[in-house]
Amino acid sequence: MLHSVGIDRGRTNVREVSVNLLSGAASAGMAAPILGQYVALPSSGLTFRRMFLPRASKAIRQQVITEELSYSLPFPLTEAHYGAVEMGEEAWVTVAADAVVHPMRDLYPKAQLEAEPLCYLRAARAAGIQQALVVDFGASKTVFCGVENGQVGTVRVLLRGGEALTEEIANETGLSVDEAELKKREEGTEHPTVRRFFQELLEEALLPSPLPYRRVLICGGGAATQGLLHLLSQLWGSDVDVEPFPLPGLLQPTDHVVAYGAALAGRPKAMRLQMQHSFQYAASSGEKLSLAPLIFTGLLIALMIAGIETRLSGAEQKRTELRASLNEALVQVLADPETLSEKDIVSQLRARLEEQRNTARNSPARIMNTLGQISSAVTGQEEAELFSTIFEDNLLKLEGRATLKQAEEIRAGIGKVLVDAEQVKTRPNKDDLFLFMIEGKLPQP
Amino acid sequence: MSTQESMDKNLLAMVVSIAVFVLFLAVYVMPRSGTLRETRESIESLQSVRQEVAVLLPEVVRTVPTTPLPQPDVRTWVANNSLGGIEKNLVANDGYLEGKGTQVRLRRLRPEDAAKFLSDLTRVRLVVDRMELQDSDRDGRWDLEISLKVPE
């Protein structure tokens, strides 16, 4: 099963929590295989801003964030990373100085960086809590994080925690630090210094009164202080339920809240911050953009090459197929048609046809048939006779003897057989008959 | 990196892109488009030729001669195959065109002999160069002079 791992590098030790990405089951430590690693950046190193962003492209929204932050941060933008959770027109922006980010990056080069308040939020939402105040009593700091309508609200960080309390007890009682630590754990809020310390923390947090939350979830090592729940309930009044942060399985609210919340960032659709963007990168994004025209040109060229080559290949194939089918048809009448050009094909075909027609036109069979048809036109006329027939150059000349009327009828009859039949000569003979000469061309076969 | 430098890089990238594209047009697109145009013209020409061939080819196939050429030569073939029974009417059988043609002269043929002679000639592939058929005496006997040759 795949896991995401959350890491919380606390003052006293490193806590790791693994969350099964499918079942959601959580366990302390690092379970394999790991799909994603998320490291929580401590709230003390973060700056938070809630901003309204225009409905615009990602680049413009990024530019707005940069400009908004440029005049409100205590360090140069070029030395910071940021991440933003955008919800419609609103963005919750977290900024961290590179001095905070780089040590984490060096320790966990493959991990993604998450903000501690988002870890509280994800852990609370995983427990079904949409509205609560999370108070993390750490060794070196105390964090107050409001969860409001399922989002991160107010975040207050006080740079005083359990270590400061131990030191205060040691100073007041003259004990060593270890003895003071032991006394703090044994007596809890019964010790006046402890009680005063927590009262001062709540006052310094400048939380509104009455507290606008019905639930307070406490976590961190200080949450184990004896009598703390009772003390906080007294301080905030009976309307507020103070309880340890609810966690699944064997996870302890004193140790695992942040690591668990970080691990939850790997779950599908989880709200992520990912402190991956540096302002330096954003400012120099123009350098990256400069590749866009080249990439676009490259793509355009590739598309044009593909288009032209496809069309050319299709045209070549069509031409080859046309020529092959033409050669196949011509091979029965022309030798080696593939060696002929397109013009030669037609001219050779025409010449071949003309030659064959001439052969047919001047064949003995055709002349014999024509003579047979003509003789029937002559012999049908009484007294008419034919005594000379000459064929030359497709011209047939007939000479005979008949009456004038018969000669005309013979011409008309021959005209049905020959083309352009005409009576070229008619002259009277010594009898009553006339000598006639008719000529005409043999028709096309 | 300043905004000015970024703009300069963008401008440079655009100029380089345009130059590359123009070079691409000149070196690749124009020659290949020319080839494509020639191929398309060739296809149109082939389609036009195919239409003409579609008209001519059936006519060529229809008129292909099926009879054999006279062997060994025209004069010998005529002597052996067409003059049977009319040898006495033969005046001359003179070959010409190096055996590819012959001139035959026959005198006083009956019409049926003339018809048989001409009919025998249809068994081989021959064309009539010239033919003269005359009944000079008007007695129904015909003199025939015919020049025959194989088609070119």
Q: In chain B, count of helices (H) and strands (E)?
A: 4, 4
Q: What is the pLDDT of residues A192-223, one digit of tens each?
A: 999 999 999 988 888 888 888 999 999 999 99
Mutation choice for B interface testing from A287, A297, A429 by most B CBs within 10 A: A297
Q: What is the pLDDT of residues A35-57, one digit of tens each?
A: 888 999 998 888 888 888 888 87
Mutation choice for A interface testing from B30, B42, B67, B128 by most A CBs within 10 A: B128
The number of beta carbons lying within 10 Å of the beta carbon of residue A154 is: 18
Q: B88 to chain A, minimum CA–CA distance in Å?
A: 22
User: A390 near A440, Cβ under 8 Å?
Assistant: no
Binning chain A into helix, strand and coil, the percentages to the nearest 5 are 45, 25, 30
Residue A286 has a pLDDT of 43
Residue B5 — pLDDT band, cuts 50, 70, 90? low
Residues of A in contact with B47 (CB under 8 A): 322
Q: What is the pLDDT of residues A308-351, one digit of tens each?
A: 999 999 999 999 999 999 999 888 888 888 888 888 899 999 99
Predicted interface score ipTM higher than 0.85? no
DSSP state of A222: G
SS3 category, A421: strand
Residue A278 — pLDDT band, cuts 50, 70, 90? low
Residue B1 has a pLDDT of 40
As a whole number, the mean pLDDT across chain A is 86
- DSSP of A256-305: SHHHHHHHGGGSTT-----TTEEHHHHHTHHHHHTHHHHHHHHHHHHHHH
Instruction: Indicate if the pLDDT at residue A285 is higher than 60.
Output: no
Q: A153 to chain B, minimum CA–CA distance in Å?
A: 35
Residue A166 has a pLDDT of 94
Q: B91 to chain A, minimum CA–CA distance in Å?
A: 19
Q: What is the pLDDT of residues B47-98, one digit of tens each?
A: 999 999 999 998 888 888 888 999 899 999 999 999 988 989 999 999 988 8
Q: What is the pLDDT of residues A347-383, one digit of tens each?
A: 999 998 988 888 888 888 888 888 888 888 787 777 7
**Chain B stretch 20-79, residues whose beta carbon is closer than 8 A to a beta carbon of chain A:** 20-21, 24, 28-29, 32-33, 35-36, 39-40, 42-43, 45-47, 49-50, 52-53, 56-57, 59-61, 63-65
Full-model pTM: 0.50
User: A225 near A188, Cβ under 8 Å?
Assistant: yes
Of B20, B47, B65, the CB nearest to A356: B65
Q: What is the pLDDT of residues A377-402, one digit of tens each?
A: 787 777 788 889 999 988 999 998 88
Residue B3 has a pLDDT of 47
Report the pLDDT averaged over residues B91-110. 92
